[in-house]
Structure 1
Amino acid sequence: MMKALDQIFVKVYDVAIFIILLTACSNLFGQTHQQIKHRDYNFSAIEHKIQTWVDSSYYAGASILVSQNDKVIYEKIFGNYNKGTQVFIASAGKWLAAATIASVVEKTNLSWDDKVNKWLPEFKDVKGEATLRQLFSHTSGFPDYQPKDSVTDNYQTLEESVKHIVNLPADTEPGSAFHYGGLAMQLAGRMAELATGKDFEVIFQENIAVPLEMKNTHFVPVDDSGGHSPMLGGGAKSTLHDYAHFLEMISHDGIYKGKSILSAASVAEMQSNQIRDAKVANHEYVERVRAEKHNGIYGLGEWREELDAKGNVVLISSPSWAGAYPWIDKTTNTYGFFLTHVNVAKANKEGFSSFYNSPVLPIIVRDAYKNAALPKEVKTAFVDVGNAKLYYEELGKGEPLIFIHGHSFDHSEWDPQFFEFAKKYRVIRYDCRGYGYSDMPKEGESFLHAEDLLKIMDELKIRKAHLVGLSMGGFIATDFLAMHQDRLLSATMASGDIFPVPGPSQPWTKEQLAIRRAEIEKIKKAGTMNQKWEWLNALMRKGGTDLETIRRSVWDMIYKWDQWQPLHAEPRLVLGNDVIPLLKGQKITVPVMVLTGEADKNNRNKLLECVPAAKQVIVPNAGHVSNLENPIDFNRLVFEFLKNSRK
């Protein structure tokens, strides 16, 4: 594993790719070496994330609202938007359409199990056997969209729209496969019209929009011409607070301000697994954004992103290609809506996917929730290291112990260690520059992560400390050992080694920069999310028997990556090969332990050759990310080493 990852690391550094996770914005950055109030929600990470998207011109504007227990806990407007901006929300409208159909099912003889041919007898082939619930769960077997060589889908009525679907060939048998699209929903809308004798927009207004006070939400007209039929799967337009009213109703099982809009049974039906026996292809949306594969990914008009141990949905959403993203998170009793519309040309040029990026928002909200729940004894602050501010957390008393996170991670990597080691040590965990809540690097501005660490120690008045770093954190600890041995009590490098890349003594040449620029364009062309998925797969390729249990926690850190490093010519941030003569040129007297996951034990380790006195210890049943994969043995081995290092 280590050999394979070394190759990846070499490429990453050689092209100056250093992954960023979650950076914070102005109101956090304004607090330098000052303790942040505990139990206050801090949404600066979300603010930074969205502002970065707007600054990159992916969106001209945006707005977001997050509510917990019926109280708005965060609301922010960005760019050229205002509180009442009305936006076409694309597939976020599927949730609204499903609720509209549910209201008709409640009030008429229309049933979710009705077949298409009951209401539309012109569908005489296999398409007529599809049920209403299959039309709204992408399992009907209908084509996902109109063929490219077909007439434009801008009909004046749903009746006309259906006439252009009847002769299209079915893709699969009803109920046999999940194919995300929206065309079949047009038939569902027409069935609702026939059941009520009313146009779909009227049904929506009467049953959903008006009782929910959604005064600026409509399915028609979908453009300034005043025309055409409602596109149930992607043609609605809404505002921030209008959609928030809808989410409030859904989160209360159909009740809005004491009035029943939908029955609890209808809401439950919408949220239940409608995939059933249909085949779900690999790498579908839920697997992509949550790194977990399960078959019950869709209900009626909504994605079932996360399930609990019993299979009950806990994170529901209706993401759109344009970026609009509504969600309900039952784990934190929150719901939120991100309203925006993508600049297609700019996003495509930069390899940015709105559909796959917006779903990171509830994960960042969870971070705010978790941070607000930190014990009051945990100090959270920033240290100014001169040209950047670095976030850290501190807990406990005794000898200082500093944890340094790995590549693509942040300080939260050390959750299984932070509180445990704070029982005996003064523990500090921090975000390296370009990661977590800390400032991002600047292209062309040189610095070393090890020197940032030294400034943190000086600011916190730490004369000597134990260092524990994993992977990239191990490289940083190695650099620090070579440069500042006199400031160490001990050094533990987990999955760490000599990083075999050019160091600061070999700055970028013009030729190398030209190559780097071409590599950046290649990353964009492939889509920036692809790099995240590839990196996750590299980390999860080899390990112990419990490797898969950490996939989600590893992915959540990678998912929050802002991707500054892959898109810039990054300076040399570690010593790389420059560290070898520094280590060999002095006698290392500080106790050094190299922790290696059992899956990587046969890999050659150059650090052991440079520091003969270093001790290699194997973490059983673990691979590269041993502190997360097997925290019990990891902690035990580090505790034992720290205890023995005092002798």
Structure 2
Amino acid sequence: MKIILCIQRNFFAIAIVISHFIGASNLSAQLRHKNKNGYDFSAVEHKIQTWVDSSYYSGASIIVAKNDTVVYEKIFGNYNRDTQVFIASAGKWLAAATIASVVEKTKLSWDDKVKKWLPEFKDIKGEATLRQLFSHTSGFPDYQPKDSVTDDYQTLEESVKHIVNLPAESQPGTSFHYGGLAMQVAGRMAELATAKDFETIFQQNIAMPLGMKNTHFVPVDDSGGHSPMLGGGAKSTLYDYAHFLEMISHDGNYKGKQILKPESIAEMQSDQLGNARIVEPEYVEKVRAEKHNGIYGLGEWREEVDAKGNAVLISSPSWAGAYPWIDKTTNTYGFFLTHVNVDKANKTGFSSFYNSPVLPIMIRDVYKNSALPKEVKTGFVDVGDAKLYYEELGKGGPLIFIHGHSFDHSEWDPQFFEFAKKYRVIRYDCRGYGYSDKPKEDLAFLHADDLLKLMNKLKIKKAHFVGLSMGGFIATDFLALHQDRLLSIVAASGDIFPVPGPSEPWTKDQLAVRRAEIRKLEQKGTMSQKWDWLNGLMSNGGTNLEEIRRALWDMIYKWDQWQPLHAEPRLVLGNDAVAILKKQKITVPVMVLTAEADKNGINKLMECVPSATQVIVPNAGHVSNLENPVDFNRLVMGFLKNK
């Protein structure tokens, strides 16, 4: 519990003025507008618009297709439908398909060694195979040395001449190191097998059959004539790349014409790492919070795999932000086309490479929301200076679930439908989280007052509260301020949040210290805050702890991080709650649900409310409602009985 509280102090009560986030539009004004296909992509649109408003991108475009139907398309900023963009590593997927087409039509094999086609490679690099060149396991250097000549060669032949004498970094097949230099050698092998230059191979075998009229590997810039950079030099457009994804998603078939054999598609998507050592944490672990050894195929990442090891979410992310993916769990493919403003991104610690992959997770939410039972009421409540998203289901006594910091209403999936069998259940997104509006740095309010206004709008006189972590702090604040509106409260992993309350406004010195801390966090990268927060939540728990890692991460990944990037008002009573609670007689039933992993900690709420009862959730850590929902639900149901 101490670890979690320490992290919460750093993340939940962060003070900094960063104006580029203030300008981002509020989501609520856009949400709940279903398109003609019956889907609401407003959250996705808001996320991308925020990136554009923050000047990370001058423009962007996105296309999403489900079951071969385009269900979403949107243009942002200064882009248009035909904007051609350098797609960096998103071109690796195109290059792999081009190599596969050569393997199909010539004597070139994925198992051919480099030295078979390029005998000048006389050292260990010559033992690397074509498949190793395209799966980052060849042992070749990732990139040209910094003191090397500029990689502006006119042909792949010339490019390879500057690679042949570079020292190998490891034995072929022993290590996975993400880079692109080895792909130049693979491209040259394809050229020798076909007696054609790589751009011609790509155009004839892939681009032209797919109608990709505006996609090229060369020229890579306006000076023209440079050798193709297979690992990161392609240009493309939104619909060009969508044609490619349609072909891949249909096992090589595009509108009735077989571009690549199904066997080639399967080879590209299969695990190509074998026993190669992965330097952790790698891309997949960082964006999906899950470890598996088969993270890469041929020119594409295997972001998620099923129980049998088959890839179900594949992609080719780029450092510049362009991100193509195929999600087999939803029969969806999509392409996010953009190119990052490096100076702006570096200044605020924004990573295009690690942010774009949140999109398929958000799109899964779109489908999930569209499939909610018709009995579930969804909407927004205007609390005066913000709108809060909520969902409601069931009849009976009102029961309100309040989520934890960095989470959203979906935290309560294991409870929402179960408790709705007996209660009128409401779950909502606190201001600054999920679909609700963001706070403003100069606008003071309390989460507890937002909750009171939500109850008034929904015509709820009294309600049971169940809050976890931050949700428990909010429930405690509400108990201190409005106990006459409560039937009971359950504070799970909740307590008196030990931070200054509204009676102690920020001082100039405190703000200066926080600004310095935030600058350090930005230098480290804003995604590092999310990774550190997840690691803190996963620091202790029961035997099922690892099973909730992905669920926690998906919520944290989608979180906008408003709190750690702004001078946050005093949104909870914090230490002020102690005196307020002790001055009054608390008659509302209170249960403190403490996770077994935290049972030895001191709980200040128990001191302030002597009538409160403390109950242990067995085999659970901080997020007990997800880690052990069976016992969590049983204990809460038992507490609520007859109340």
Give the TM-score category using the shorter length. Answer: over 0.9
* 1:29 has 2:29 as partner: yes
* 1:502 matched residue in structure 2: 500
* 1:181 matched residue in structure 2: 179
* 2:324 matched residue in structure 1: 326
What amino acid sits opposite 2:336 in the alignment?
F
Structure 1 SS opposite 2:192: helix
- C-alpha displacement at 1:421, in angstroms? 0.2
What amino acid sits opposite 2:550 in the alignment?
R
| 1:39–1:373 CA contact under 8 A, matched in 2 | no
In the alignment, the residues of structure 2 paired with residue 16 and residue 609 of structure 1 have an alpha-carbon distance, to the nearest angstrom, of: 30
| 1:17–1:565 CA contact under 8 A, matched in 2 | no
Aligned partner of 1:342 among 340, 343, 356:
340
Q: Deviations over 1:236-294 (max 9, x none)?
A: 00000000000000000000000000000000000000001101111100000000011
Q: After TM superposition, list the pairs within 5 Å mapping 1:189-200 onto structure 2.
A: 189-200=187-198
Q: Deviations over 1:195-243 (max 9, x none)?
A: 0000000000000000000000000000000121000000000000000
- C-alpha displacement at 1:29, in angstroms? 2.0
* 1:155 matched residue in structure 2: 153
Q: Deviations over 1:396-439 (max 9, x none)?
A: 00000000000110000000000000000000000000000000
Cα gap change, 1:298/1:391 in structure 2, threshold over 3 Å: closer, same or farther? same
Structure 1 SS opposite 2:575: helix
* 2:5 matched residue in structure 1: 6
What amino acid sits opposite 2:195 in the alignment?
G
In the alignment, the residues of structure 2 paired with residue 591 and residue 17 of structure 1 have an alpha-carbon distance, to the nearest angstrom, of: 38
In the alignment, the residues of structure 1 paired with residue 575 and residue 34 of structure 2 have an alpha-carbon distance, to the nearest angstrom, of: 39
Structure 2 SS opposite 1:62: strand
What amino acid sits opposite 2:29 in the alignment?
F
Structure 1 SS opposite 2:110: coil
In the alignment, the residues of structure 2 paired with residue 331 and residue 190 of structure 1 have an alpha-carbon distance, to the nearest angstrom, of: 36
Cα gap change, 1:24/1:403 in structure 2, threshold over 3 Å: closer, same or farther? farther
What amino acid sits opposite 1:5 in the alignment?
I
Q: Deviations over 1:537-567 (max 9, x none)?
A: 0000000011000000000000112122211
Aligned partner of 1:267 among 259, 265, 268:
265
- C-alpha displacement at 1:36, in angstroms? 7.9
In the alignment, the residues of structure 1 paired with residue 605 and residue 36 of structure 2 have an alpha-carbon distance, to the nearest angstrom, of: 41
| 2:41–2:363 CA contact under 8 A, matched in 1 | yes
Q: Deviations over 1:548-596 (max 9, x none)?
A: 0000000000011212221111100000001111110111001000000
What amino acid sits opposite 1:641 in the alignment?
F
Runs of 4+ in structure 1 over 4 Å off: 23-28, 34-39
Aligned partner of 1:399 among 397, 400, 420:
397
* 1:230 matched residue in structure 2: 228
What amino acid sits opposite 1:350 in the alignment?
T
In the alignment, the residues of structure 2 paired with residue 24 and residue 590 of structure 1 have an alpha-carbon distance, to the nearest angstrom, of: 40
In the alignment, the residues of structure 1 paired with residue 340 and residue 495 of structure 2 have an alpha-carbon distance, to the nearest angstrom, of: 43
Aligned partner of 1:122 among 120, 123, 145:
120
Q: After TM superposition, list the pairs within 5 Å mapping 1:305-384 onto structure 2.
A: 305-384=303-382
| 2:501–2:572 CA contact under 8 A, matched in 1 | yes
* 1:539 matched residue in structure 2: 537
* 1:552 has 2:547 as partner: no
What amino acid sits opposite 2:5 in the alignment?
D
| 2:117–2:189 CA contact under 8 A, matched in 1 | yes
Structure 2 SS opposite 1:283: coil
In the alignment, the residues of structure 2 paired with residue 7 and residue 182 of structure 1 have an alpha-carbon distance, to the nearest angstrom, of: 41
Aligned partner of 1:209 among 207, 210, 216:
207
Structure 2 SS opposite 1:576: coil
Runs (5+) with no aligned partner, structure 1: none
Cα gap change, 1:628/1:51 in structure 2, threshold over 3 Å: closer, same or farther? same
| 1:13–1:501 CA contact under 8 A, matched in 2 | no
Q: Deviations over 1:467-503 (max 9, x none)?
A: 0000000000000000000000000000000011100
Cα gap change, 1:14/1:72 in structure 2, threshold over 3 Å: closer, same or farther? closer
* 2:448 matched residue in structure 1: 450
In the alignment, the residues of structure 2 paired with residue 39 and residue 225 of structure 1 have an alpha-carbon distance, to the nearest angstrom, of: 44
* 2:217 matched residue in structure 1: 219
- C-alpha displacement at 1:16, in angstroms? 4.1
In the alignment, the residues of structure 1 paired with residue 197 and residue 78 of structure 2 have an alpha-carbon distance, to the nearest angstrom, of: 34
Aligned partner of 1:485 among 483, 489, 497:
483
Structure 1 SS opposite 2:277: coil
The number of aligned residues is 639
**TM-score when normalising by structure 2:** 0.98
- C-alpha displacement at 1:511, in angstroms? 1.2
* 1:166 matched residue in structure 2: 164
Q: Deviations over 1:517-546 (max 9, x none)?
A: 212211111100011000000000000011
| 2:30–2:42 CA contact under 8 A, matched in 1 | no
In the alignment, the residues of structure 2 paired with residue 329 and residue 624 of structure 1 have an alpha-carbon distance, to the nearest angstrom, of: 31
Structure 1 SS opposite 2:176: coil
- C-alpha displacement at 1:45, in angstroms? 0.7
* 1:630 has 2:628 as partner: yes
- C-alpha displacement at 1:9, in angstroms? 1.9
What amino acid sits opposite 1:478 in the alignment?
T
* 2:20 matched residue in structure 1: none
| 1:400–1:426 CA contact under 8 A, matched in 2 | yes
Q: Deviations over 1:170-213 (max 9, x none)?
A: 00000000000000000100000000000000000000000000
| 2:24–2:54 CA contact under 8 A, matched in 1 | no
450-459 or 519-528: which moved more?
Answer: 519-528
| 2:24–2:50 CA contact under 8 A, matched in 1 | no
- C-alpha displacement at 1:12, in angstroms? 3.0
* 1:563 has 2:557 as partner: no
In the alignment, the residues of structure 2 paired with residue 295 and residue 17 of structure 1 have an alpha-carbon distance, to the nearest angstrom, of: 40
Runs (5+) with no aligned partner, structure 2: 18-22
| 2:361–2:554 CA contact under 8 A, matched in 1 | yes
Structure 1 SS opposite 2:73: strand
| 1:540–1:551 CA contact under 8 A, matched in 2 | yes
In the alignment, the residues of structure 2 paired with residue 230 and residue 10 of structure 1 have an alpha-carbon distance, to the nearest angstrom, of: 50
Aligned partner of 2:279 among 278, 281, 291:
281
In the alignment, the residues of structure 1 paired with residue 328 and residue 24 of structure 2 have an alpha-carbon distance, to the nearest angstrom, of: 25
| 1:24–1:44 CA contact under 8 A, matched in 2 | no
In the alignment, the residues of structure 1 paired with residue 334 and residue 578 of structure 2 have an alpha-carbon distance, to the nearest angstrom, of: 51
Aligned partner of 2:592 among 588, 594, 602:
594
* 2:76 matched residue in structure 1: 78
In the alignment, the residues of structure 1 paired with residue 34 and residue 166 of structure 2 have an alpha-carbon distance, to the nearest angstrom, of: 60
75-84 or 556-565: which moved more?
Answer: 556-565
In the alignment, the residues of structure 1 paired with residue 74 and residue 247 of structure 2 have an alpha-carbon distance, to the nearest angstrom, of: 22
Q: After TM superposition, list the pairs within 5 Å mapping 1:415-430 onto structure 2.
A: 415-430=413-428
Structure 2 SS opposite 1:106: helix
Structure 1 SS opposite 2:641: helix
In the alignment, the residues of structure 1 paired with residue 489 and residue 15 of structure 2 have an alpha-carbon distance, to the nearest angstrom, of: 26
* 1:459 matched residue in structure 2: 457
| 1:60–1:79 CA contact under 8 A, matched in 2 | yes
What amino acid sits opposite 2:443 in the alignment?
E
Q: After TM superposition, list the pairs within 5 Å mapping 1:574-593 onto structure 2.
A: 574-593=572-591
In the alignment, the residues of structure 2 paired with residue 267 and residue 9 of structure 1 have an alpha-carbon distance, to the nearest angstrom, of: 46
In the alignment, the residues of structure 2 paired with residue 30 and residue 317 of structure 1 have an alpha-carbon distance, to the nearest angstrom, of: 29
Structure 2 SS opposite 1:627: helix
* 2:407 matched residue in structure 1: 409
Structure 1 SS opposite 2:390: strand
* 1:471 has 2:461 as partner: no
What amino acid sits opposite 2:403 in the alignment?
H
In the alignment, the residues of structure 1 paired with residue 482 and residue 336 of structure 2 have an alpha-carbon distance, to the nearest angstrom, of: 47
In the alignment, the residues of structure 2 paired with residue 397 and residue 452 of structure 1 have an alpha-carbon distance, to the nearest angstrom, of: 23
- C-alpha displacement at 1:39, in angstroms? 9.0
- C-alpha displacement at 1:15, in angstroms? 2.9
In the alignment, the residues of structure 1 paired with residue 33 and residue 253 of structure 2 have an alpha-carbon distance, to the nearest angstrom, of: 41
| 1:38–1:376 CA contact under 8 A, matched in 2 | no
Structure 2 SS opposite 1:484: helix
What amino acid sits opposite 2:629 in the alignment?
P
Q: After TM superposition, list the pairs within 5 Å mapping 1:35-46 onto structure 2.
A: 40-46=38-44
In the alignment, the residues of structure 2 paired with residue 186 and residue 480 of structure 1 have an alpha-carbon distance, to the nearest angstrom, of: 63
Cα gap change, 1:51/1:446 in structure 2, threshold over 3 Å: closer, same or farther? same
Higher RCO, 1 or 2 (CA under 8 Å, sep at least 6)? 1
